[in-house]
Amino acid sequence: MTQKIDLTKIRNIGVIAHIDAGKTTTTERMLFYTKKIHKIGEVHDGTATMDWMVQEQERGITITSASTTCFWRDIHINIIDTPGHVDFTVEVERSLKVLDGAVVVFCAVAGVQPQSETVWRQADKYHVPRIAFVNKMDRVGADFPNVLAEIHQKLGACAAAIQLPLGAEENFSGMIDLVEEELVMPVDEKGEKFERKPVPEEHKAKLQEYRHTLIERVAEVNDYLMDLYIHNKPITKEDIKRSIREATVANKFCPVLCGSSLKNKGIQLVLDAVCDYLPSPLDVPAVKGFEPDSGEYEERQVSMDAPFCGFCFKVMSDPYVGRLNFVRIYSGKINAGETVFNSVKREDERISKIVRMHANKQEMIESAHCGDIVAFVGLKETNTGDTLCDEKNPIVLEAIKFPEPVVDLAIETKSKADQEKLAFALRKLQDEDPSFRVTYNTETAQTIISGMGQLHLEIAVDRILREFNVEAKVGRPQVAYRESIRKKMSVTGKFIQQSGGRGQYGHVVLIMQPQEVPGTGITFEETLKGGVIPREYIPAVKNGIVMAAKSGVLGSYPVTDIAVTLVDGSFHEVDSSEIAFQMAASIAFTDGLRSGGSYLLEPIMDIEIVVPEEFMGSVIGDFSSRRGKLVSMGQRGNVRVLRGHVPLAEVFDYANIVRSLTQGRASFTMEPFCYQEVPKDIANKVLGIK
């Protein structure tokens, strides 16, 4: 790679939002104005470039995050378009892990919705700087000041408008640029050409009011602008731009823009804001990890000269090139044909090809460098969450934590010939989607697939039937229950077998106790003294616990939220083996479940129902009858907004119920909230106890 690469000219961004806010439409316009595509595709027609899956085109929703690359001004922008539906929230999670910035899209009518809060929290978790785009300003009920207020109140964000809409609903015609103090008006239907004019006299007072708020908000989080502001020094456009950039990159401020993606208004200004205010790879902190052997903390600076380091955040199967590993490169550079080291699996992997992705199309490139998001072809062992690096300078980056699935479904083939095809399909889907789990129920001899919701599993089944041509029958969706324990106890597990010749001997003593923080899952530590069990057998003890936790003692549901500590045990110099200690740990754990007061947990959903005033009473009455707890009641325009928590088991067919209660006028959204204990009478019903 001989040419000098300017890393300040790269932006790695994601487009994130609530379902139906207009992410894919916004991305489509970005690709059109950057000349990446020459015809605008529409989501409702099934022709959007980034929605390339058959299921996405049929349903008009985004299911999988798609990446592409384009150029605006002299900036190279890598864009990831993410799904908005809560069932595919994992796609947002893994995208934000590797992005430097994000464009958060809000609907000008609906404002900040529950899933908007979820994606905002995910961006907070990964410290991703963001700009906000209030879309659909042309829609009836569009209210820009209301959305701006909700961004402050509901998200707790330090945000201010850098644009104002000129008009709203059918009168929306352009944007007032608060930084440049100009009116931006599209002059053709596709919005390719626009002109900048002086702001009309009747809007000047509003401009000055919002501009003053903008300067005040940025000055609160930016010392440079604060100094100018309090000393009454003149503040230039350049000062404002520089301060907005510094505050946004530091994740202390969020500029808010407005427009209408469908009507081709305001997208070029979003692209300008991406280039002006979102960080380059050099602006974000060095990536953190640890040395795999010593466990010592490590950092990798963003530099072409640093050792190679990349993170695999997604795996996809392509019918032509096979397995594609999407990788964000944090340091160094790599050429096609070179070998990299997978520091998690401890395996060498050869990269046969490097491709730049444009939705599901590939562009072959010879090499890639830090700051790039590319796909590698030829990796056999690398999965989502693995680190790829230089073998002489190994590092393991922090993996992605995926949420627990909440819905189960039984699937079986119609003929024996399809069993192998089903196993292959399930393996592929698991590779691609870490929130999709497959287990085998030995009692019913059924394959169980688990996911984040009904839609998630519906799409998976659809792909199994159509993409992989498997003839299969599926059961009804079931709630994914979990089991846990009530009290702390000490348990002993012994596995001793003597059958002539070498025997088996494993002996462990475990302390098992409920986790203090729900949702922590199963944790394992050891406090052994004096080498009572050799170090090489401790991973086998952990494996035994993990295996035993897959099936509880009440209804064979997975076990969660237990802290296990290995405190004692013994070994035999000849007969002890890894399998003996694995079995001993499994026996001890299962005994602990029996004597620790096991109980059943169920997934609780966070739900928001938007309902016209006249139907509110009947909706609240029905909600309470479903063991629902109301958390808040609010007003949005002329409708009421109910927020609450309800067990998933009670709202499986809630869409039809809400429709019939409100003559089809109410809508709702829900997402997993937590796991809680099932009331005794309902637990008995689930477990078949009379």
CATH class of 483-597: alpha beta
Per-residue pLDDT for 339 more than 90? yes
Going by pLDDT thresholds of 50, 70 and 90, the confidence category of residue 347 is very high
Per-residue pLDDT for 2 more than 50? no
Question: Residue 529 has what pLDDT?
Answer: 86
Name the residue type at position 80. I
CA-based nearest residue to 55, from 429, 474, 479:
429
More confident residue, 636 or 599: 599
How far is 687 from 95, CA to CA, in rounded Å?
39
Question: Residue 192 has what pLDDT?
Answer: 82
Task: Outline where 533-653 has alpha helix (H).
Answer: 538-548, 578-595, 616-625
How far is 56 from 41, CA to CA, in rounded Å?
13
Residue in the block written with tokens 């059958």: 499
Per-residue pLDDT for 45 more than 70? no
pTM, two decimals, is 0.77
Q: What is the dihedral of CA 24, 29, 32, 33, to 10 degrees?
A: -140
| Mean pLDDT (whole number) for 209-218 | 95
Question: Residue 600 has what pLDDT?
Answer: 94
| Mean pLDDT (whole number) for 293-318 | 89
How deeply is 215 buried, as exposed, middle or buried, from its count of CB atoms within 10 A (0-12, 13-18, 19+)?
Answer: buried
The CATH architecture assigned to 287-397 reads Beta Barrel (2.40)
CA-based nearest residue to 532, from 576, 497, 564:
576
Question: Residue 44 has what pLDDT?
Answer: 62
Per-residue pLDDT for 84 more than 60? yes
Per-residue pLDDT for 538 more than 70? yes
CATH class of 407-480: alpha beta
How far is 178 from 235, CA to CA, in rounded Å?
13
Q: What percentage of the chain reaches a pLDDT higher than 70?
A: 96
Question: Residue 444 has what pLDDT?
Answer: 66
How deeply is 198 buried, as exposed, middle or buried, from its count of CB atoms within 10 A (0-12, 13-18, 19+)?
Answer: exposed
Question: Residue 502 has what pLDDT?
Answer: 75
Question: Residue 43 has what pLDDT?
Answer: 66
User: Average pLDDT over the chain, rounded to whole?
Assistant: 89
Q: What percentage of the chain reaches a pLDDT higher than 90?
A: 56
38 contacts 28 by C-beta, under 8 angstroms = no
* Two domains, one topology: 7-277 and 287-397: no
The helix (H) or strand (E) run that includes residue 111 is none
Annotated binding site for GTP: 17-24, 81-85, 135-138
526 contacts 566 by C-beta, under 8 angstroms = yes
More confident residue, 19 or 184: 184
Per-residue pLDDT for 547 more than 80? yes
Tell me the domain boundaries of the chain. 7-277, 287-397, 407-480, 483-597, 601-687
**Read out DSSP for 505-539?**
EEEEEEEEEE-SSTT--EEEEE---TTSS-GGGHH
Gyration radius of the chain's alpha carbons: 28
CB contact set of 344 (below 8 Å; sequence gap of 6+): 385, 386, 387, 396, 399
| CA-angle at 196, arms to 195 and 200, nearest 5° | 120
More confident residue, 319 or 617: 617
Per-residue pLDDT for 670 more than 70? yes
Residue-wise pLDDT tens digits, 246-284: 999 999 999 999 999 999 999 999 999 999 999 999 999
Per-residue pLDDT for 3 more than 60? no
Residue in the block written with tokens 């330090």: 158
Question: Residue 264 has what pLDDT?
Answer: 92
Q: Which residues pair with 140 in a beta bridge?
A: none
The CATH architecture assigned to 7-277 reads 3-Layer(aba) Sandwich (3.40)
How far is 42 from 334, CA to CA, in rounded Å?
37
Annotated binding site: 17-24, 81-85, 135-138
How far is 527 from 509, CA to CA, in rounded Å?
11
Per-residue pLDDT for 647 more than 60? yes
Q: Mean pLDDT lowest for which of 61-70, 125-134, 241-250? A: 61-70
| Mean pLDDT (whole number) for 139-146 | 93
Burial state string for 464-475 with b = 16 or more CB within 10 A and e = fewer than 16: beebbebebebe
On whether the 601-687 domain is CATH 3.30.70.240, my answer is yes
Query: What's the token pair of residue 175?
Result: 């944007």
CA-based nearest residue to 468, from 64, 54, 49:
54
How far is 126 from 33, CA to CA, in rounded Å?
29
| Mean pLDDT (whole number) for 573-577 | 88
How far is 15 from 505, CA to CA, in rounded Å?
56
